[in-house]
């Protein structure tokens, strides 16, 4: 059975092979077909990260949209949340981002936002996917009816203003180390922080098209954390390639991930009566330590599927104000429609100022249980549950951890990989149980 084109975060693969220009053009044209069915389309907003493959993939995608009569406004290299914000602000029909987020430089991806600035629902993605193989069957406009490509720097400035407004008291007196992952935050992130008054030490902000996420950014925050200590800084921030997530470090160089941010922000908002229902939305991968820390303050943790789109959907269902993922995707519902690394960092720093507590003091609110995550590269992601050896290994691990921890298996939504995560009170036991399940998957499905 063929794999779905769309994963948990759009279409993704190695650029020019798994994700080729022809496919990007077909996706653009298919999206245009679906949008035109909804009525006369307004513009589609497009942005990308710093990958060299973004040049030809953007050109192909825009060609597909314009060829089917949909005008495009290109923002160039911008954070993913900037596209979501501008799409909503301008009343555009949709937004599209060309990025593979935290993945290695050879990857790229295409993800869509609706007119409300939120990730497209699965049903809408399915409609676009249906049109990909048959987009050429549709009549094409000619003359003045084809779409036109425009570029807008002014639209980017509205997003920068939105970020500054989210931190009204500014950041004067703070010294920050900022790792931009040689990605989309390289131009805007340090600038906004400096405009708010922070003294900024910048790392990995010289993108060359092939160094995005290379030993830097949110997937490699160690250099940022070490530099915080060396610079005697107050905090550090590490964005990923498209700046929709952030991992922080406190003044002692200790990593503060998305779970700890959910913890501190949840407690702070609850104390201010700004946490409806005293609910925080995490994911199935959120550490049990987060759930336990929130419970001490009368806050419930709800778990959504992995992916900030599913977190956002669960937040909307329960009227939640705060949600996110351990990986650093955080959503503050009153300020953003999707994960936003720069905005998240600003909210964390704002909370520290409002509360009079350092990031390190806030981070100590949560005690993380030992957790192990193993990634197994596989030939296919489907059907792993039906393999007896895998089911047996998983059953033994679940029985061993029952009442004390948990084990969770899920296919990656963007790569041919299956992730095995376990957590519990004993590190050695968690290591052993995780390896036993991962080895069963490797033997039966591994590359």
For residue range 192-244, list pLDDT tens digits in order.
999 999 999 999 999 999 999 999 999 999 999 999 999 999 999 999 999 99
> CATH 3.40.120.10: which residues of the chain?
11-154, 158-254, 256-363
Instruction: Please tell me the predicted confidence (pLDDT) of residue 30.
Output: 96
pLDDT band (50, 70, 90) for residue 1: very low
Q: Range with the lowest mean pLDDT among 2-11, 68-77, 417-426?
A: 2-11
Taking phi over 0 as left and psi of -120 to 50 as alpha, with beta for the rest, 96 belongs to: beta
Residue identified by tokens 């610079």 is 231
Start-end of H helices in 151-287: 154-165, 185-195, 222-230, 258-271
CATH fold, domain 371-445, is TATA-Binding Protein (3.30.310)
Residue 111 in this model has a pLDDT that exceeds 80: yes
Q: Hey, which CATH number is domain 11-154, 3.40.830.10, 3.40.640.10, 2.60.40.10, 3.40.120.10? A: 3.40.120.10
For residue range 362-410, list pLDDT tens digits in order.
999 999 999 999 999 999 999 999 999 999 999 999 999 998 899 999 9
CATH dotted code for 256-363: 3.40.120.10
| Catalytic residue, candidates 101, 286, 412, 436 | 101
For residue range 309-320, list pLDDT tens digits in order.
889 999 999 999
CATH dotted code for 158-254: 3.40.120.10
High-pLDDT (> 90) share of the chain, %: 91
Q: List all residues 6 or more positions away from 184 whose beta carbon is below 8 Å from its beta carbon.
A: 47, 48, 49, 50, 77, 78, 79, 80, 99, 241, 242, 243
E strand or H helix at 310, and its extent?
helix 308-318
Determine whether 53 is an active site residue. Answer: no
């Amino acid at each position: 059975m063929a794999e779905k084109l769309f994963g948990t975060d759009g279409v993704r693969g190695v650029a020019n092979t798994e994700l080729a220009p022809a496919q990007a053009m077909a996706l653009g044209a298919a999206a245009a077909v679906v949008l035109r069915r909804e009525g006369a389309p307004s513009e589609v907003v497009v942005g990308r990260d710093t990958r060299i493959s973004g040049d030809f993939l953007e050109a192909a995608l825009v060609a597909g949209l314009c060829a089917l009569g949909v005008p495009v406004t290109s923002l160039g290299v911008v954070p993913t949340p900037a596209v979501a914000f501008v799409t909503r602000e301008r009343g555009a029909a949709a937004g599209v981002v060309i990025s593979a987020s935290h993945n290695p430089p050879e990857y790229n991806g295409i993800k869509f936002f609706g007119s409300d600035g939120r990730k497209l629902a699965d049903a809408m993605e399915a409609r676009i996917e249906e049109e990909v193989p048959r987009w050429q069957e549709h009549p094409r406009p000619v003359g003045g009816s084809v779409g036109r490509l425009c570029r807008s720097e002014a639209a980017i400035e509205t997003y920068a203003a939105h970020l500054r407004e989210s931190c009204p008291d500014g950041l004067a007196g703070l010294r920050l180390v900022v790792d931009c992952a040689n990605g989309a935050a390289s131009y805007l992130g340090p600038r906004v922080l400096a405009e708010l008054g922070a003294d900024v030490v910048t790392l990995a902000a010289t993108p060359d098209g092939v160094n995005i996420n290379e030993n830097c950014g949110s997937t490699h925050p160690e250099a940022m954390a070490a530099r915080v200590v060396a610079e005697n800084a107050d905090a550090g921030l590490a964005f990923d390639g498209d700046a929709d997530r952030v991992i922080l470090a406190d003044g002692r160089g200790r990593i503060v991930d998305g779970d700890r941010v959910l913890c501190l922000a949840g407690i702070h908002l609850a104390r201010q009566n700004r946490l409806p229902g005293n609910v925080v939305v995490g994911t199935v991968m959120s550490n049990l330590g987060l759930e336990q820390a929130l419970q001490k303050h009368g806050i419930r943790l709800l778990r959504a599927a992995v992916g900030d789109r599913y977190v956002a959907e669960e937040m909307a269902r329960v009227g939640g104000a705060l949600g996110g993922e351990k990986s650093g995707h955080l959503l503050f519902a009153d300020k953003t429609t999707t994960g936003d690394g720069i905005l998240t960092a600003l909210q964390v720093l704002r909370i520290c100022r409002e509360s009079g507590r350092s990031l390190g003091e806030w981070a100590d609110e949560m005690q993380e249980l030992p957790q192990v995550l193993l990634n197994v590269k596989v030939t296919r992601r489907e059907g792993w549950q039906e393999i007896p050896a895998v089911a047996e290994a998983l059953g033994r691990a679940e029985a061993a951890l029952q009442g004390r921890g948990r084990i969770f298996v899920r296919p990656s939504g963007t790569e041919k990989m299956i992730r095995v995560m376990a957590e519990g009170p004993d590190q050695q036991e968690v290591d052993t149980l995780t390896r036993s399940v991962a080895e069963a998957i490797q033997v039966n499905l591994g590359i």
